[in-house]
Structure 1
Amino acid sequence: MRFFFRGMENQIIFIPIMKASIRQLRYFLIPYTLLFVISLTLKIIFTREEIYFFINGLHFPAGDVIFRYATEMGGATTAVSLVLILLFVRYRYSLLLASSYLLTSLINFPLKYIVGAPRPKLYFTDSPKTIYWVPDVEVLSNHFSFPSGHTVCAFTTAVVLTFISPRRWYGCIYFLLAVMVAYSRMYLSQHFFEDVTAGSFEAVVVVTCWITWFNNRAFFRHPAWEGALSRKNDDE
């Protein structure tokens, strides 16, 4: 019984802490919630094929260039680079971002294997419809489409950067950049609409909960984590 009541006490304490985190992330979470509701509505109204071919019909020359590079904002190179850059800002920020990537990856990769959803190129192998493929882009063809890993990475980044930014309204900018990555995955025919929608939801929920837990652990609030590589010489 003692363990039961202790667990209940921890849950009661966690709720106001979670509310505080949500308030800090509000400039990201408000537009995201609106977009998520719209996405669910579209998914109910239209089929996978209808959404895919609508987006596939929106290609334009500049977009073929822009989204080819925009999608890399959700790639591993960008993720590692940001973790290293934050070492020069604050160790705790770098640790928070790195651990957030690790946590969402540990959830996302098993989901890909469990669901085994085909990517658009594989799904439409025998489709009689003409599909536009962006030139000079390697379009993946496997059963690891759901959820979108690039989208998970992009939204993980956006949530963490919103939380640590000195100005909360930066969350709106990070939100738009994450959405750009998600859209690029569909634009490049690497994922379906539901893949990026699920990926974004996974990242936002998991990282928000992780930030709440992380930010209120005494170990992670130790003064040593407040240091940075850029201030190392000053401290010495």
Structure 2
Amino acid sequence: MQKLTATTRRLYSFLIPYILLLILVLIAKILYSKEDIYFFINGLHFPAGDVFFPFMTEFGSSFSAVVACLLLLFVSYRSSVLMATSLILTTAINVPLKNLFFAPRPRVYFAGSQHPIYYVPHVEVLANNFSFPSGHTVCAFTMALVLTYITPRKTFGYLYLLLALLVAYSRMYMSQHFLEDVTAGSILATVVTIIWLSWFDNRPFLSDPRWNASLSRKKNAA
């Protein structure tokens, strides 16, 4: 419990605004239906957003996850291992959940609807039953949490949270997911990553100072 508390303290800049926002989302879910929220967001499209959000959504992709792990090798091997293992774990949990819930994506859910739906031009809108939880959101929130955890300047956590939220919103903006999907993805990533970091980063073998070396400063490993 002490290790878990210590980890959450290192993530305060991320967790405090996230929890406040999560409360607002839950209130919105009580007041409005799934369909109401979807069509509200679907009505907020604008030309710059049609360019920005397809770009932003890639920050939650598998490619971005791999790049993040590789770049962190130049920061420290410990940081890269923490990022890689966290991403592997949250993904390993999320994929079976997608198959378990088998929830339709918006394009399938509204297949027979007469309500006009706006789709971002030149974006492939997925039409399957793997909507819940959102994988891009899981990936983005996992990366944001690990970055907050390893970054000495904790105020950067606000920036990492903002980037993760933009990825989550992009999934709704592009009609790939519902609010429920991205909310569940963010919760899954947050809870699992915190527990994992609390346990894994305190393993005895990681206390070896060589883990603090990196590809950019090998000579300091000794």
Normalised TM-score (structure 2): 0.98
- Determine the C-alpha separation between the residues in 1 that align with 2:72 and 2:10: 19
Report Cα offsets for 1:97-143 as digits up to 9, x if no partner: 00000000110000000000000001100100000000000000000
* Aligned with residue 109 of structure 1, among 80, 92, 95: 95
Q: Which protein is bigger by CA-based radius of gyration?
A: 1
CA contact (8 A) 2:210 2:221 kept: no
Paired AA for residue 81 in structure 1: V
The one-letter code sitting in structure 2 at the alignment partner of 1:176 is L
TM-score (norm 1): 0.92
| In the alignment, structure 1 residue 119 sits paired with structure 2 residue 108 | no
Paired residue for 1:9? none
* 1:162 and 2:134 are equivalent in the alignment: no
Aligned to 2:175: 189
Which range is displaced more, 149-158 or 216-225?
A: 216-225
Q: Deviations over 1:39-72 (max 9, x none)?
A: 1111111111000000000000000000010000
2:43 maps to what in 1? 57
How much has 1:234 moved relative to structure 2? 5.6
Instruction: Say whether 1:201 aligns with 2:187.
Output: yes
Report the Cα distance in structure 2 between the residues aligned to 1:68 and 1:149, rounded to whole angstroms.
15
Instruction: Tell me the distance in 2 between the aligned counterparts of 1:16 and 1:157.
Output: 23
Over 3 Å counting, the alpha-carbon distance change for 1:210 and 1:234 in structure 2 is closer
Aligned residue in 2 for 1:142: 128
10, 16, 32: which one aligns with 2:2: 16
Q: How many correspondences in the alignment?
A: 222
Identical residues among aligned pairs (%): 57
| Correspondence 1:175 to 2:157 | no
Q: Name the SS for the 2:216 alignment partner.
A: helix
Mapped partners of 2:89, 2:220: distance in 1 = 33
Aligned to 2:218: 232
Instruction: Assess, with a 3 A threshold, how the Cα gap between structure 1 residues 99 and 183 changes in structure 2: closer, same or farther.
Output: same
Structure 1 residues 18 and 235: CA distance shift in structure 2, 3 A: closer
Partner residue of 1:43 out of 29, 32, 53: 29
| Over 6 Å off, 4+ runs | none
Structure 2: runs of 5+ lacking an equivalent: none
CA distance in 2, matches of 1:182, 1:32: 13
Question: Is 1:220 aligned to residue 196 of structure 2?
Answer: no
Once the two structures are superposed, residues 60-106 of structure 1 have per-residue CA deviations (whole angstroms, 9 ceiling, x without a partner) of: 00000000100000001110001000011100000000000000011
Q: Distance in 2 between matches of 1:129 and 1:28?
A: 37
- How far apart are residue 224 of structure 1 and its match? 2.1
Q: Distance in 1 between matches of 2:78 and 2:62?
A: 20
CA distance in 1, matches of 2:185, 2:57: 14
Measured after TM superposition, the shift of residue 235 of structure 1 is 5.2
